[in-house]
């Protein structure tokens, strides 16, 4: 198939030979989920820029933090490319990301930053990625890729700190330990205290999700999120309460809360409104009678603390105790 420019669209059924409901453009079958191998000290981490362009100084600081943990680093060929606010063309960014997954000498793939642009990669990703599970970390705009790699390729992914962002600024002791010990397999299970339960109850299920405003953009596309039987994690930054409410209603009307196991809300950073109706109030009103546990206060996302969350492995959400627990290691 010939692709001309970033705007050309290749649907998953054409690109991956996946069974697809052509009326809705959704995958009929869920891919079996595969765990990556754990990181070993001395291993090589590939760093890519799937979305926004990267500042060299921030990148250098993040790379130093990785090397401090005794890992080697390799930069994607196009990581310094610029196309306005983008790190080069979508096709080239997809090639860089795909190439790192297909190489046996790359043990993990870390994203440099978010911004905008991950959605442009989807039509160009190599379907062979599904045969090469490895640790893939990012958040924010990378939400699009994390969930598609899980849902479309069947790979466990990590909603986790990024190189030219969190690692460059420096992680707290808690976040640093949480991040590296999960990836190396030293921490196979954990439990974190959340802040406020909107609905009580317990559920054990795989997690998916990330940045709310990015997840909403998948609706009506072949890459639409499938939330059935999942714990949905949601966070965001810079959105007024009325916009958060609008996006939550959009998800509800699209049926994304039907058959859900539970919801965990993370940080909604800089999402304050001009009046008393804040994001917490919106969430409490919308989910006061939800038939599943709903808990707020996961320290993950765009806030000061960004604890890594593996997507695709079983977690326990306890609305009675107000805790989220990892029940199985996300690495082999």
Which residues carry out catalysis? Answer: 140, 235, 302
Complete edge-to-edge strand list for the sheet that includes strand 294-296: 190-193, 323-326, 314-318, 202-211, 231-237, 262-269, 294-296, 196-199
Phi, psi angles (nearest 5°) of residue 316: -115, 120
Separation CA 286–CA 319 (nearest Å)? 16
Nearby residues of 190 by Cβ (< 8 Å), 6 or more positions away: 178, 182, 325, 326
Residue pair 98/15 in contact by the 8 Å Cβ criterion: no
Separation CA 284–CA 294 (nearest Å)? 9
- CA-to-CA dists, residue 213 to 110, 117, 219, 246, angstroms: 22, 14, 11, 10
Nearest to 306 by CA among 205, 198, 190, 170: 170
Nearest to 238 by CA among 324, 143, 115, 327: 115
Separation CA 110–CA 51 (nearest Å)? 13
**Residue ranges with strand state E in 14-166:** 20-21, 26-27, 44-48, 72-75, 108-111, 135-138, 157-159
């Amino acid at each position: 198939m010939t692709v001309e420019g970033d705007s050309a669209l290749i649907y998953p059924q054409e690109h991956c030979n996946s069974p697809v409901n052509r009326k809705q453009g959704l995958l009929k079958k869920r891919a079996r989920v595969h765990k990556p191998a754990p990181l070993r000290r001395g291993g090589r981490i590939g760093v890519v820029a799937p979305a926004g362009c990267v500042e060299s100084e921030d990148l250098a600081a993040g790379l130093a933090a990785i090397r401090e943990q005794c890992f080697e680093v390799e930069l994607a060929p196009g990581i310094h490319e610029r196309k306005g606010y983008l790190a080069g063309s979508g096709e080239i960014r997809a090639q860089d990301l795909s190439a790192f997954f297909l190489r046996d000498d790359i043990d993990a793939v870390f994203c440099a930053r978010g911004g905008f642009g991950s959605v442009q990669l989807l039509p160009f990703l190599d379907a062979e990625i599904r045969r090469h599970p490895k640790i893939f970390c990012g958040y924010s705009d990378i939400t699009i890729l994390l969930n598609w790699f899980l849902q479309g390729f069947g790979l466990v992914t990590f909603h986790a700190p990024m190189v030219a962002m969190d690692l460059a600024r420096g992680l707290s002791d808690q976040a640093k330990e949480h991040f590296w010990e999960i990836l190396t397999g030293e921490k196979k299970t954990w439990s974190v205290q959340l802040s406020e339960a909107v609905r009580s109850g317990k559920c054990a299920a795989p997690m998916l999700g990330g940045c709310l405003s990015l997840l909403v953009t998948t609706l009506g596309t072949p890459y639409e999120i499938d939330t059935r039987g999942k714990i949905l994690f949601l966070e965001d930054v810079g959105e007024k309460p009325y916009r958060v409410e609008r996006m939550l209603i959009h998800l509800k009307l699209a049926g994304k809360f039907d058959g859900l196991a539970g919801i965990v809300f993370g940080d909604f950073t800089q999402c304050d409104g001009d009046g008393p109706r804040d994001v917490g109030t919106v969430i409490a009103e919308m989910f006061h009678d939800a038939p599943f546990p709903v808990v707020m206060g996961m320290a993950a996302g765009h806030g000061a603390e960004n604890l890594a969350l593996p997507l695709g492995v079983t977690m326990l959400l306890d609305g009675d105790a107000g805790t989220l627990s990892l029940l199985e290691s996300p690495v082999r």
